[in-house]
Structure 1
Amino acid sequence: MNAPHSLASAVRGQVWLPGDADFDAARRPWNVAVEQPVAAVVEAADADDVAALVRYARSAGLGVATQPNGHGATGRTGGTILLRTGRLDALELDPAARRARVGAGVPSGRLQAAAAAHGLTGLPGSSPIVSVTGVALGGGVSWFGRRYGWVADSVTAFEIVDAEGQRRRVDAGTDPDLFWAMRGAGGDFAIVTALELELRAAPALFGGRTLWTGAHAPAVLDAFRRITATAPDELTLWLDLLHIPGAEPMVAVDVTHLGPEGEARELLAPLDRLPAPLTDSRQPMSVAELGAITDEPTDPSPGLSRGDLLTHLDDSAAAALLADPIAPLLAVQVRHLGGALAQPSGGPHGPLAEPYILYTLGIPTDPDVAAAISARQRSLAAAMPTSGRKPFTFLHASETVADAFTPDVVARLRAVKHRYDPDNVFRPNFPVSG
């Protein structure tokens, strides 16, 4: 790094350099299984500070990798300054217009809590601690995607710092190609300091998790398939096969329904005809409580995940899913897609024709366990009717944008990158260059 001593004078936020006592903690991503080499870490004070950092990085011959807290990190950070955007946490709502301005560091749960007070909702995923901006930049498959489409399609404008270190506002009218690329292909084109998005009405919500012993997995999967075959767009179901080390296997169905409880229970009747569950948390709830459904970890932890889109879930696919124990995996999840996600999109993903996604997760406690997890993920994917395509936010470290987008879309993304960041200042988790 050229003249590292000058970085602290170039920005107003906190700076960590190699050799500092807290440097390793500052550069660590949320997934602690990922090693993240960087030249320095900066927690920007505000959007002007981001702009100053970009100008400094250019002059020092370094790139900038942006993370609020490191979800989705792949370790492609060599030769970069790691930018933390957690202090860009402004959140402004206009309930009458159903719009929000969301700082780059705002987590999904905070937006949900603010919107819920007005009977509104964003498009949240399973975790309340992931940033709204990070999800939107990757397209975003939310609990309400079947009703409202990609998270990115709700974005109406981005406030950015460009590759020259200048602040700008980008929307479909000012920079249509850049706006298109940023709604789903990651942080390769600019640093987002805030975004503006549409909020949706949420007059009623019913949701929760029903959990059974693993012995009931065939019956639960059958009910899941029957419900999802005719589910309205307001209803979303996720099937979970779970095996916590030291415990017996379990199976669960997670559900949200944008509508009244009575309507939801009628749609979910096949689940209620199954043997009595171990637990059932389904109830009317606020959109601010969605994170409680899956209760995902909120502290950094190691993980190896994989996502594969499924073309169908027929008898053969169901048999393959349950043919063998999921161990050493911790979880195998099948999410129902379709609905608005299958309609035309304003971002790089386009329509998501596949009706389900298979998501697998394991905890790599050592290299041998990591290898076993990866092997089990590959074998399960090979046995299932996968399409070969993946949503951008479900890519794992060994994959590229070519696994998420068609060749013509990749070519267009590369043209946008060359136009707006020809010197490759911005270094995302998954660069469009491959």
Structure 2
Amino acid sequence: MNALTTLRSAVRGRVLLPGDPGFDAARRPWNLAVEQPVAAVVEAADADDVAALVRFARAAGRAVATQPNGHGATGRTEGTILLRTGRLDSVQIDPLAARARVGAGVPSGRLQAAAAAHGLTGLPGSSPVVSVTGVALGGGLSWFGRRHGWVSDGVTAFDIVDAQGRPRHVTAGTDPDLFWALRGGGGDFAVVTALELALHPAPRLFGGRVLWTAEHAPAVLDAFRHITADAPEELTLWLDLLHFPGGEPMIAVDVTHLGAAEEATALLAPLDRLPRPLADSRQVMSVAELGSITAEPTDPGPGVSRAELLTELDDAAAKALLAEPIAPLLSVQLRHLGGAFTRPSDSPHGPLTEPYALYLFGIPTDPATAEAVTARQHALAEALPVTGRKPVTFLGAGETLADAFAPATLDRLREVKRRHDPRGTFRGNFPVPH
């Protein structure tokens, strides 16, 4: 521990060691159900601090685990120095080139607000507080992925600190293998301090949530299946089975449409022929307001999640999905994929050909509930036509990159890891398996 105290003179950002006031709060991940043991926490002041930390860790024989705010943490951090990159928060927009440069700590909502001012958009997911960099390193499923593909497909360059503590600018031309690995292979190859990515026109957006009581679930699911069967790429629908503590079961359809409200209304007509909903928030909106659709929590909390990819959503799958109440789960979400996801992608995932993603979430309030949540997730997954493969950003704490990638992809990632970080200076949330 004495060696770690010299960290305070190696970096300018805040350093917290075990026993320091605030250490336990600083090391906690976003998911409070995950225990995250670390040897120290460093809140980097800038990219130079990151480089100094990596050089220190390399000399001390320590690994660095990088997190802006702890999304996707798995607890595989024993003995590491936890690097917080939240202060690397610059956002630069080039509206003429439709490009952005964002620091590693920039949350999706900040990029969206900056891009929206120029009639542009990034590729945001459901939460405005998840870092752009973290999503891109895991591939990334966006509201607009059916139109533009993986979040990582739009990344054009990375600013990194390598395993020797050297700042580098990585592109497809400077280092194609490392660039490929960073575009969706996880955070196990370097510390990304900033990235550059393409933006897309977003002059008009129609979106929101329609909510019904669960008695209408069969009809809502049928309408969801009908609309998604031939939806244009500009239209994305997510279906949510919801059961909050103390409330009644409900079902919702969340929607975004990159286009005019009139076009969206025509495409969504099957929803409007259903019984009157409890609520309907659909409206013309800014791409900076996307977080309001699902209204996910913006503060850390405990959770147990499981994700799967579905090969189809036929009558049998629909029946299995609604066969029993989802409790003790809080939510079961179906995301419509397809479109640009199916096209060629020079990323570890490659094309995403499965038409739907399934996301199952519950809160482990106590050990018995945690066990029941896991059992219900398992039962639902077993009843549905799943592939067993899943995106990196949807992996759970007990899973590995082998649950996301084919063996040939894992072999290539191992080779990139061996060449760029042979001493294991970096440890991602999902390390490359040996």
TM-score, L = length of structure 2 = 0.99
Which SS does the other structure have where 2:160 is aligned?
Answer: strand
Query: Distance in 1 between the 2:390 and 2:416 partners?
Result: 21
Query: Distance in 1 between the 2:402 and 2:59 partners?
Result: 31
**What whole-Å deviation, never above 9, does each CA across 1:352-394 have from its counterpart, x for those lacking one?**
1100011000001111111110110000000000011111111
Segments of 5+ residues of structure 2 without an aligned counterpart are none
Query: Distance in 2 between the 1:226 and 1:320 partners?
Result: 18
Alignment pair present for 1:130 and 2:150? no
Which SS does the other structure have where 1:246 is aligned?
Answer: coil
**What whole-Å deviation, never above 9, does each CA across 1:169-224 have from its counterpart, x for those lacking one?**
00000000000000001111000000000000001100000000011000000000
Instruction: Kindly state the Cα deviation for residue 346 of structure 1 after the two structures are TM-superposed.
Output: 1.5
Provide the residue aligned with 1:358 in structure 2: 358
Provide the residue aligned with 1:164 in structure 2: 164
Provide the residue aligned with 1:34 in structure 2: 34
Provide the residue aligned with 2:407 in structure 1: 407
Provide the residue aligned with 1:58 in structure 2: 58
Provide the residue aligned with 1:425 in structure 2: 425
Instruction: Kindly state the Cα deviation for residue 432 of structure 1 after the two structures are TM-superposed.
Output: 1.2
Structure 1 runs of 4+ with >4 Å offset: none
Asked whether the 8 Å contact 1:108–1:128 carries over to 2, the reply is yes
Instruction: Kindly state the Cα deviation for residue 304 of structure 1 after the two structures are TM-superposed.
Output: 0.5
Query: Distance in 1 between the 2:41 and 2:5 partners?
Result: 13
Provide the residue aligned with 2:45 in structure 1: 45
Provide the residue aligned with 1:184 in structure 2: 184
Provide the residue aligned with 1:277 in structure 2: 277
Query: Distance in 2 between the 1:206 and 1:78 partners?
Result: 45
Query: Distance in 1 between the 2:5 and 2:269 partners?
Result: 65
More off after superposition, 103-112 vs 2-11: 2-11
**What whole-Å deviation, never above 9, does each CA across 1:115-144 have from its counterpart, x for those lacking one?**
001000000000000000000000000000
Query: Distance in 2 between the 1:100 and 1:225 partners?
Result: 36
Query: Distance in 2 between the 1:31 and 1:400 partners?
Result: 17
Pairing of 1:280-359 with structure 2 (within 5 A): 280-359=280-359
Query: Distance in 2 between the 1:352 and 1:167 partners?
Result: 33
Query: Distance in 2 between the 1:372 and 1:37 partners?
Result: 26
Provide the residue aligned with 2:83 in structure 1: 83
Query: Distance in 1 between the 2:421 and 2:125 partners?
Result: 30
Pairing of 1:161-310 with structure 2 (within 5 A): 161-310=161-310
Instruction: Kindly state the Cα deviation for residue 2 of structure 1 after the two structures are TM-superposed.
Output: 5.7
**What whole-Å deviation, never above 9, does each CA across 1:221-259 have from its counterpart, x for those lacking one?**
000000000100000000000000111100000000000
Provide the residue aligned with 1:154 in structure 2: 154
Asked whether the 8 Å contact 1:155–1:198 carries over to 2, the reply is yes
Query: Distance in 1 between the 2:346 and 2:295 partners?
Result: 31
Query: Distance in 1 between the 2:283 and 2:244 partners?
Result: 26
**What whole-Å deviation, never above 9, does each CA across 1:253-276 have from its counterpart, x for those lacking one?**
000000000000000000000000
Which SS does the other structure have where 1:3 is aligned?
Answer: helix
Asked whether the 8 Å contact 1:2–1:60 carries over to 2, the reply is no
Instruction: Kindly state the Cα deviation for residue 416 of structure 1 after the two structures are TM-superposed.
Output: 0.3
Provide the residue aligned with 1:378 in structure 2: 378
Q: Which amino acid aligns with 2:322?
A: L
The number of equivalent residue pairs is 434
**What whole-Å deviation, never above 9, does each CA across 1:74-127 have from its counterpart, x for those lacking one?**
000011000000000011110000001000000000000000010000000000
Asked whether the 8 Å contact 1:401–1:432 carries over to 2, the reply is yes
Which SS does the other structure have where 1:135 is aligned?
Answer: helix
Query: Distance in 2 between the 1:399 and 1:352 partners?
Result: 19
